[in-house]
């Protein structure tokens, strides 16, 4: 599109200069004789064609300069020494003046990789225009000025282009450096936070898990051992979540340790082992879920089963997963609890569902949670099947 636009502009300029130089010539502003004959009209047509060659001034600037220079030389020789044409005004420069200036502009601006050839071509063109074989102060002055205008403008615009390009590159480099410094600062802060969370929180939670395990081994009654086990399991899950969070905070994690949809079976077995029988129903091809979606789905199921263990001890759980080309649907439904919730129901921050909702919204999914008419609970999530970015 840009090339077409430039070509259209060049053609329009060439046509406009051909018309203007023709009008100036007919007004005896150049080589036009007082009594034009057939030769003069033929040369006028040749001059118009030479001006039209300016349409190729970007792609072939030296060729355009050669065409206009050849026409100027032919007209000059026909005037003197051949005497075939006698100009009405012999003091004029015998060349298409406007086209000559633009033709002299092209070599220096468009032939940046071969400046020596461009300079030689301009020197030869200048000699043709000023006619040193027929010396005249007026011809020499006007000819040099007319030819020099184009190269001077070319040098100015080329220097301006280089300056703008250098300033643009400097600004882009400064912007990249600023972005890298900001990214480095964020990375260092994230690493610091991750280290502090790992050192402080992990240490305390690990102690809680160990103490719960010891209590389970030394307790004399079954209820205490059961609650100690639930506390230990909850602590282990908290450590897993903390490990995931620390992994997100750290810079450029080498891999995602959170299991994907292949880990659903292990979650079902864990739930069944602690007294909440769980059934997994999968429909469709699990390969349709991208890795990010699979890990998010795993976290949803894990959170759902954790909530069941907290708030519905002894309840049966059905996890249904439907894999589609566009969406992955999850449904975690549990029956009413068979015994009263223990102290574990009051643990935690109470933000599990809210955290899940935020995580799901990151991948542009939806989450619904609520109680069932029979006293059970249902957690439903709809995720896109493919998410290209890591979450």
Q: What is the pLDDT of residues 212-232, one digit of tens each?
A: 878 878 888 888 888 888 888
pLDDT the model gives residue 70: 94
pLDDT the model gives residue 195: 67
Q: Is residue 47 part of a domain?
A: yes
Tally of domains within the chain: 2
Q: Is residue 175 part of a domain?
A: no
pLDDT the model gives residue 199: 60
Q: Is residue 37 part of a domain?
A: yes
Tens-digit pLDDT profile for residues 277-306: 999 999 998 888 888 888 889 989 988 888
Q: Is residue 104 part of a domain?
A: yes
pLDDT band at 2 (very low <50, low <70, confident <90, very high): low
Residue ending a domain, among 101, 135, 169, is: 135
Residue ending a domain, among 118, 135, 152, is: 135
Q: What are phi and psi of 111, to 5 degrees?
A: -110, 60
Say yes or no to pLDDT of 390 above 50. no
Q: Is residue 176 part of a domain?
A: no
* Residue range 76-80: mean pLDDT, rounded: 87
Q: Which residue has the higher pLDDT, 284 or 207?
A: 284
Say yes or no to pLDDT of 334 above 90. yes
pLDDT the model gives residue 255: 43
Say yes or no to pLDDT of 100 above 60. yes
Say yes or no to pLDDT of 345 above 70. no
pLDDT band at 65 (very low <50, low <70, confident <90, very high): very high
CA–CA dist 390, 286 (Å, integer): 18
Tens-digit pLDDT profile for residues 19-38: 999 998 988 778 888 889 99
Say yes or no to pLDDT of 202 above 80. no
pLDDT band at 3 (very low <50, low <70, confident <90, very high): low
CATH number for the domain that contains residue 370: 3.30.565.10
* Residue range 262-274: mean pLDDT, rounded: 87
Beta strands in the chain (DSSP E): 278-283, 317-323, 327-334, 366-371, 377-384
Q: Is residue 210 part of a domain?
A: no
Q: Is residue 24 part of a domain?
A: yes
Say yes or no to pLDDT of 253 above 70. no
pLDDT the model gives residue 41: 94
Say yes or no to pLDDT of 254 above 50. no
* Residue range 92-119: mean pLDDT, rounded: 84
pLDDT the model gives residue 96: 79
Range of the domain at 264: 258-391
* Residue range 52-57: mean pLDDT, rounded: 93
Residues in Cβ contact with 11 at an 8 Å cutoff, skipping those fewer than 6 apart: 55
Residue ending a domain, among 135, 151, 175, is: 135
Q: What counts of helices (H) and strands (E) characterise the chain?
A: 10, 5
Tens-digit pLDDT profile for residues 132-149: 887 778 778 888 888 888
pLDDT the model gives residue 215: 82
pLDDT the model gives residue 196: 66
Q: Is the pTM of this model over 0.95?
A: no
Query: What b/e string do you get for 262-295 counting C-beta neighbours within 10 Å, with b at 16 or more?
Result: ebbeebbebbeeeebebebeeeeeeebbbebbbb
pLDDT the model gives residue 79: 86
pLDDT the model gives residue 95: 66
pLDDT band at 354 (very low <50, low <70, confident <90, very high): confident
* Residue range 294-321: mean pLDDT, rounded: 88
For 379, the 3-state DSSP assignment is: strand
Q: What are phi and psi of 276, to 5 degrees?
A: -120, 90
pLDDT the model gives residue 119: 92
Among the listed residues 388, 369, 387, the one whose alpha carbon sits nearest the alpha carbon of residue 330: 369
pLDDT band at 188 (very low <50, low <70, confident <90, very high): confident
Average pLDDT, the chain: 83
Residues in Cβ contact with 262 at an 8 Å cutoff, skipping those fewer than 6 apart: 286, 294
CA–CA dist 254, 356 (Å, integer): 24
* Residue range 336-357: mean pLDDT, rounded: 65
Q: Is residue 289 part of a domain?
A: yes
* Residue range 233-241: mean pLDDT, rounded: 77
């Amino acid at each position: 599109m840009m090339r077409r636009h430039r070509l259209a502009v060049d053609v329009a300029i060439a046509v406009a200069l051909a018309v203007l130089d023709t009008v100036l010539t007919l007004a005896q502003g150049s080589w036009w004789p007082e009594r034009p004959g057939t030769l003069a009209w033929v040369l006028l047509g040749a001059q118009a064609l030479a001006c039209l060659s300016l349409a190729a001034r970007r792609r072939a600037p030296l060729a355009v300069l050669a065409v206009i220079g050849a026409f100027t030389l032919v007209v000059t020789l026909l005037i003197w020494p051949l005497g075939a044409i006698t100009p009405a005004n012999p003091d004029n420069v015998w060349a298409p003046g406007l086209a000559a200036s633009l033709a002299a502009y092209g070599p220096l601006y468009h032939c940046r990789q071969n400046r020596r050839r461009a300079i030689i071509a301009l020197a030869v063109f200048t000699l043709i225009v000023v006619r040193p074989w027929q010396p005249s102060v007026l011809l020499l002055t006007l000819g040099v000025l007319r030819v020099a205008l184009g190269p001077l403008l070319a040098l100015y615009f080329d220097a301006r282009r280089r300056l703008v390009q250098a300033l643009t590159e400097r600004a882009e480099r400064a912007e990249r450096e600023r972005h890298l410094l900001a990214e480095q600062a964020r990375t260092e802060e994230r690493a610091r936070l991750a280290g502090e969370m790992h050192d402080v929180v992990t240490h305390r939670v690990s102690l809680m898990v160990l103490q719960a395990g010891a209590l389970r081994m030394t307790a004399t009654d079954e209820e205490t051992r059961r609650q100690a086990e639930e506390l230990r399991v909850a602590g282990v899950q908290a450590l897993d979540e903390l490990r995931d969070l620390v992994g997100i905070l750290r810079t450029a994690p080498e891999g995602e340790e959170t299991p994907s949809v292949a880990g659903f079976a292990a979650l079902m077995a864990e739930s069944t082992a602690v007294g909440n029988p769980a059934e997994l129903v999968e429909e469709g091809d699990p390969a349709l879920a991208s890795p990010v979606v699979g890990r998010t789905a795993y976290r949803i199921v894990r959170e759902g089963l954790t909530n069941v263990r907290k708030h519905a001890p002894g309840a049966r759980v059905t996890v249904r997963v439907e894999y589609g080309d566009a969406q992955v649907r999850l449904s975690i439904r549990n029956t009413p609890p068979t015994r009263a919730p223990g102290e574990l129901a009051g643990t935690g921050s109470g933000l599990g569902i809210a955290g899940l909702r935020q995580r799901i919204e990151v991948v542009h999914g939806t989450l619904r949670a609520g109680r069932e008419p029979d006293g059970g609970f249902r957690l439903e999530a709809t995720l896109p099947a493919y998410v290209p970015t890591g979450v």
